[in-house]
């Protein structure tokens, strides 16, 4: 026993907890750097693949074969979207694995896992829908890919730009709402997130002048970002299904009945074709 009544085992235990907490914090910062980088690589890969979904049919002289098949526009679009999203599957698997490791190590809250999966699906769906929409409007792959990626970047930074423009000071707190790379990082919640959120001071008004960088506003904007991208992806997918028949120059086939399960089988065939084309291109 030491002079001040502090036992050596107790002091060693506290020191060990302190070192462990530092290691957990370091691993959290590591995850908040590596996971957004992996996400960025995956989302660009999916957007680029989707932007080549229709233009490659023109360039390879397979457009006529595609439009004269028995498939409806909705089935073709669904197959193209799923094929492009599978391009980022490896990145998504690695991201979820790293996040699960963070949960096991105690660096992030377990709530991060389901939220992260939902965000990855929504953001990936939007990126592929946007890329495929560009591909449907153009005839050259490089143009579609350039416009898809540049538009995706513009949309990502638009949230902070709107906050700055609407602020009476000409600038707003740098919370970057809708910037999906940062939103993914925000979803890697530290273990104290739930208690901090419960004690957070929620805004009483939603005027731009009241926006700050506290946890409450960050949580609100993250939820709005995911919901906004989900709405945008839904509208793009809906428009793609309608637009395809017009571009293909054939009457819409939505009124024709198909055997049950046929649409899924046809969509699966297109996904397989997309994977084969990606393997050959890779």
In a domain, 25, yes or no: no
In a domain, 4, yes or no: no
What secondary structure does DSSP assign to 83-134, as a single string? HHHGGGHHHHHHHHHHHHHHHHHTSS-TTHHHHHHHHHHHHHHHHHHHHHHH
Tokens at 128, concatenated: 């592929």
For the chain, the domain total comes to 1
CA distances from 101 to 16, 28, 86 (A): 21, 10, 23
In a domain, 23, yes or no: no
| C-alpha angle 65-67-68 in degrees, rounded to nearest 5 | 65
Q: How many residues does the chain have?
A: 282
Assign 36 a pLDDT band (cuts: 50, 70, 90). very high
Ramachandran class of 80: left when φ > 0, alpha when ψ lies in -120 to 50, beta otherwise = alpha
Least confident of 92-96, 109-113, 158-162: 158-162
The larger pLDDT score, comparing residue 79 to residue 280, is at 79
In a domain, 2, yes or no: no
Assign 169 a pLDDT band (cuts: 50, 70, 90). confident
In a domain, 166, yes or no: yes
In a domain, 203, yes or no: yes
In a domain, 216, yes or no: yes
* Each residue's pLDDT tens digit, 191-225: 999 999 999 888 887 777 678 888 999 999 999 99
The SS3 call for residue 29 is helix
Give the position of tokens 């679009």: 77
DSSP assignment letter at 199 = T
In a domain, 9, yes or no: no
Assign 114 a pLDDT band (cuts: 50, 70, 90). very high
Rounded average pLDDT over 60-70: 90
pLDDT surpassing 50 at residue 2: no
Query: Which residue range forms the structural domain that includes residue 79?
Result: 34-281
Tokens at 155, concatenated: 């949309």
Assign 280 a pLDDT band (cuts: 50, 70, 90). low
- Cα-Cα-Cα-Cα dihedral of 113, 119, 125, 130, to 10°? -150
CA-CA distance, 174 to 218, in Å (whole number)? Answer: 10
């Amino acid at each position: 026993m030491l002079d001040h009544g502090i036992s050596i085992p107790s002091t060693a235990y506290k020191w060990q907890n302190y070192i462990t907490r530092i290691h957990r914090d370091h691993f959290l910062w590591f995850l908040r750097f590596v996971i957004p980088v992996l996400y960025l690589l995956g989302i660009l890969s999916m957007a680029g693949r989707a932007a080549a979904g229709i233009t490659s049919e023109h360039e390879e002289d397979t457009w006529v074969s595609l439009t004269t098949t028995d498939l409806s526009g909705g089935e073709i679009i669904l197959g193209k979207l799923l094929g492009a999203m599978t391009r980022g599957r490896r990145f998504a698997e690695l991201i979820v694995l790293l996040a699960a490791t963070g949960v096991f190590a105690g660096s992030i809250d377990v709530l991060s896992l389901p939220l992260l999966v939902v965000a990855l699906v929504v953001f990936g769906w939007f990126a592929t829908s946007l890329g495929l929409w560009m591909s449907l409007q153009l005839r050259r792959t490089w143009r579609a890919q350039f416009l898809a990626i540049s538009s995706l970047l513009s949309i990502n930074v638009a949230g902070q730009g709107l906050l700055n423009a609407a602020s009476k000071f000409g600038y707003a707190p740098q919370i970057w709402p809708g910037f999906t790379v940062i939103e993914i990082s925000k979803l890697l919640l530290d273990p104290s997130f739930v208690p901090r959120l419960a004690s957070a001071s929620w805004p009483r008004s939603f005027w731009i002048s009241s926006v700050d960088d506290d946890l409450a506003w960050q949580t609100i904007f993250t939820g709005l970002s995911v919901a906004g991208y989900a709405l945008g992806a839904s509208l793009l997918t809906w428009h793609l299904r309608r637009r395809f028949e017009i571009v293909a120059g054939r009457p819409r086939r939505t009124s024709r009945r198909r055997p049950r399960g046929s649409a899924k089988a046809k969509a699966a065939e297109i996904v397989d074709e997309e994977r084969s084309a990606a393997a050959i291109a890779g």
